Amino acid sequence: MTPTTATEPNDLKTAWADLRAKNPHLRIRDAADALGVSEAALLATQTGETVTRLEPKFTGILQELHTLGRIMALTRNGEIVHERKGEYKNVEIIQGHGKMGLAVNDDIDLRIFFAHWQFAFAVTSESPRGTLHSFQFFDQSGTAIQKVFLQTDA
């Protein structure tokens, strides 16, 4: 796929819609690469539709995730995808150098460094498995740091 130079929000929204029409199962990460933009930029084109931009109150959001019940926490980079299903409980925020968070549980065991967190979105999306609801967190460049998907399975 050849990257586009769509820089205007409406141009990017149209380019993404066209790409999805041609490749309906394309993941947003791959779509962003194909369009030469960040994942956060693509999500932002859907604000008010399937995406809600959240206040960047990351510690508060994470401390409330336990109310969602079973979730899947997803963290990835170019080399690996780390998925864990469980409850996002026991979130502890450690004040000090850049703030750090801990979520220590049997299934979800994370160390979170908030210094790089910049954007948060609530997202509703369609997948081959049905409608997905998620919270997605990004760094300043719009690269996904963590995604938290609600789970309907046991």
- What are the tens digits of pLDDT across the range 86-129? 999 999 998 876 689 999 988 999 999 999 999 999 999 888 77
Q: Could you please report the per-residue DSSP string of 51-91?
A: EEEEPS-HHHHHHHGGGG-EEEEEEE-SS-EEEEEEE---E
Structural domains in the chain, sorted by start: 1-37 (no CATH), 52-154 (3.40.1570.10)
Taking a C-beta distance cutoff of 8 angstroms, is the pair 74, 147 a contact? yes
Tell me the pLDDT tens digit for each residue of 56-89: 999 999 999 999 999 999 998 888 899 999 999 9
Give the C-alpha separation, 131 to 63, whole Å.
Answer: 24
pTM, to two decimals:
0.88
pLDDT band at 3 (very low <50, low <70, confident <90, very high): very low
